[in-house]
Each structure stands twice: as C-alpha cells, then as structure tokens.
Amino acid sequence: MPEEEIPVSETFPVTVIRWPSLVCSTFVAEAAMRGNSGITPGWSAAPRGARSIQKTRNKSASQGRKEGFIGEVFWTLPAESASLSLPCRLKEASLSALLFGFRRLRGDMSSFSPSLAEWLPAPEPADPTAEPRLHVVCRTSAQLGAVLTSPVAVASVTLDYEDLRRYADAVETARRTPEAPPLFLATPRIQKSGEEGFFKLIARAAPDGVLIRNLGGIQWFRREAPELTRVGDFSLNVSNPITARLFREQGLERLTLSYDLNAGQALDLLQSAPPQWFELTLHQHMPLFHMEHCVFCTFLSEGTDYTNCGRPCESQEVRLRDRVGQEHLLSADTGCRNTLFNGRAQTAARYFQPFLDSGLRDYRLELLREDASATWQLLRIYDDLLAGRIEGDEAWSEVGAISRLGVTEGTLG
C-alpha cells in the first residue's frame, strides 16, 4: 500500500495509509493520533456485520480493546495508546503543531510576548493647512451629469450602478468633460466564488480608482490592477486602529469609517490612527440590508431569473412600508440581488467641526434617487459646510435629514 508522511509536528508524526475505505481511513487517522507508532490494518477473510464508527469506538474504549473489525476491515492499536477520546487527541495534536510552528517562527515560546503596541499604527504627520475634500457617490446617470456640470468642485466621483456593463460608457462620458474629477467604480457588496468577472468588467472600464466593498476585491485588484487607487468602503467594518493598519498594508489608500461607530467612537479612532487614512460619510440613506432574493422578479414578473423576468427593476420602483408607516426604497443590485435603503436620509453635518479639528479631510456625499435639481442642492449645502460658509446646524436644517452618524448612536460603546 502507498504511504505518505504528513509532518503534523515533530512530536506527533502521522502516517496515512491510503485505503479505498473511508471508514478505514478514519480509524487510521484516529489510531495514529492515539499511538504515535504504527497501525496495521488488514482485510478479514470472514465478512463481519456493518457497525457504526461511533459505537465501535465507544465499545472498544470501554473494554480496553486494542483490535477489532469495522465491516470487513481489521484494525489494531499499539499497546501504548492513551485512553483518550478522538476530539481530545485531535485537540492535543493540533495544539502541539501550533506551538511547534510558533517556536520555529519566533524561537522559544517563553520569549514570545506580543504586545498591543506592536500592532498599532505609527503616527504620521498630517497637513493642518489641507482643505476638506468632498467625494460623491452617484447611482444614476442623471446624478453623474449633475455632478459633472455643477460649479461645486468635488475631489472624486464614485459610480455605484446596478448593471456593471454601463461603467465603461460612464467612464468615457466623464473623461470627455473638461476638468472632470477622478472617477471611481464600486465593486459588488458581496463577491461569491466564480464571480471574478465582475472585477474584470470594472478593470476593463479603466477608471481612476475603485471603491472596494469585500475582501475578495482587495486581493484581486491588488494582484490584477495595482495601478488603480483603492478605497475601502464601510462594509470592511474598520472600527479600530489595528484593522485600519492591516487594510492599509494591503494597499488601500483610504478607509471609510465603520457605520457601527457613533461620533465619539469615530473621533477616538482618529486619535489612535492617522486621520488622513479615513473618509467619513456625511450624508446617506443608510443601507438596511442586502439580500440574494430579488423582490422585483418574484412579485413584478412571471419569470424565475434575469433571463426571463423582463427586468422590471429597470422600470419599476419598489418601496417597503414599515410598522410606523415609513417607506424604504428597495434597489436592485449587481447579480440580481436587492438592497433596502432607509427611506429617510441621515446627515452628520452637526458633527463636522469636531471631525475637521481632528484632522479628517475626506468626506462623502452618497446619493440614492435624487434628481439633478436635488443633487445640485445637496452639493451646494455640503460645499458651503466644508468651506465654512455655514455651520453644521444650518446644513442639517437645510438638508432636512436625520441628524445621526452611523447606524445608531453606537453599538460598540
């Protein structure tokens, strides 16, 4: 029989004998963990009745047996085997292998004492004279046109379209506009195995950068399109300085502050990591949940998927009414998924000055279904706020949104 040495650790060498029987292989592994020496399985000439692994193991342990049959497979265990259950033996072997690996990497474990200071980011000097910058997320072509023709100068525009095939035309349109701001494209919120084609569509559109919303996007764009500027979205859930440092080391230029943080917690984070690493969402309709189920296909068509549903999501608007009568907008998303957004926008305008004083300079305005006129109005209000022409309370009053930062007043405090 062919054999293979698997170096689990120096203390627990394991020899796996490849049998055509899963039952036998299971007991080979178990016996190897128990005994450390050899195991001698063999075929019995006389067939035995089938017996479950669990019952056989329990009976053998209670009777102190060192051999037996499972089906037609004869097994023996070394005399020095310990009287331990399989989960305990696996745990002991795994821990031994883990400690062995640490010793190889860090030397003797007695000297291995990681401290929090090793993981915290080092201070970086910020430019106190830098002006605050406004970044805008557009979800319709009308919004993109309004931003490109507005007298308000924005630092960047990010497109978040349901159909990623529209990205290439949108990039070309923006590039034809004189003095157009850098154009970013948003990845899907969730990336499943086999959906790398979405990333390829984004890269082929040749934007200036990409708004990354999932871990797969970090890896793919770092490897396949390193020339693009990469910004991490809120879904990466950056809520502490250690996480921020790890994502920065993966090549992300800025990180959106987690929506789990309230204003005080976000300010604490900016004190423990360089504020120029971060971007704050000043205005948005909070995404409530994201789902695979497509409400448009289920209730507005006779079809079963995008091939036969007629795509009602492109012509119909769906709102869900909650128990207090508030209507929330349901939006189609990439891959026939749906995202439910809060029907009322929220603004962090009242907290702007403390964030500005902390050194934060990048702020985001997220549009949802605003038309060109509403887009221009929001651009004007937030441009006035960032330029210091109006105070946070005045901006909040003009916008008419809920005054809040994050999901609630904070779930981490």
User: What is the per-residue pLDDT across 66-92, written as a single tens digit (0 to 9) for each?
Assistant: 566 655 556 555 544 444 455 566 666
Tell which wins on pLDDT, 160 or 405.
Answer: 160
Instruction: Say whether pLDDT at 363 is over 70.
Output: yes
pLDDT band at residue 192 under the 50/70/90 scheme: confident
Instruction: Say whether pLDDT at 204 is over 90.
Output: yes
Separation CA 361–CA 355 (nearest Å): 8
What is the 3 state secondary structure string of the chain?
CCEEEECCCCCCCEEEECCCCHHHHHHHHHHHHHHCCCCCCEECCCCCCCCCHHHHHHHHHHHCCCEEEECCEEEECCCCCCCCCHHHHHHHHHHHHHHHHHHHHHCCHHHCCCCHHHHCCCCCCCCCCCCCEEEEEECCHHHHHHHHHCCCCCCEEEECCCCHHHHHHHHHHHHCCCCCCCEEEECCCCCCCCCHHHHHHHHHCCCCEEEECCHHHHHHHHHHCCCCEEEECHHHCECCHHHHHHHHHCCCCEEEECCCCCHHHHHHHHHHCCHHHEEEEEEECCEEEEECCCHHHHHHCCCCCCCCCCCHHHCCCEEEECCCCCEEEEEEEHHHEEEEECCCCEECHHHHHHHHHCCCCEEEEECCCCCHHHHHHHHHHHHHHHHCCCCHHHHHHHHCCEECCCCCCCCCC
pLDDT at 249: 95
Highest mean pLDDT, choosing among 52-56, 252-256, 260-264, 287-291:
252-256
Could you give all domains of the chain from N- to C-terminal order, each with its CATH number?
A: 3-109 (no CATH), 133-286+342-403 (3.20.20.70)
Instruction: Say whether pLDDT at 405 is over 80.
Output: no
Instruction: Say whether pLDDT at 21 is over 70.
Output: no
pLDDT at 409: 52
Q: What is the mean pLDDT of residues 196-203?
A: 95
pLDDT at 54: 46
Instruction: Say whether pLDDT at 268 is over 90.
Output: yes
R_g of the chain computed on alpha carbons: 29
pLDDT band at residue 407 under the 50/70/90 scheme: low
User: What is the per-residue pLDDT across 287-342, written as a single tens digit (0 to 9) for each?
Assistant: 998 888 889 898 899 888 888 998 888 888 899 899 999 999 999 888 889 999 99
Tell which wins on pLDDT, 4 or 114.
Answer: 114
**Mean pLDDT over all residues of the chain?**
80
Q: What is the mean pLDDT of residues 118-124?
A: 85
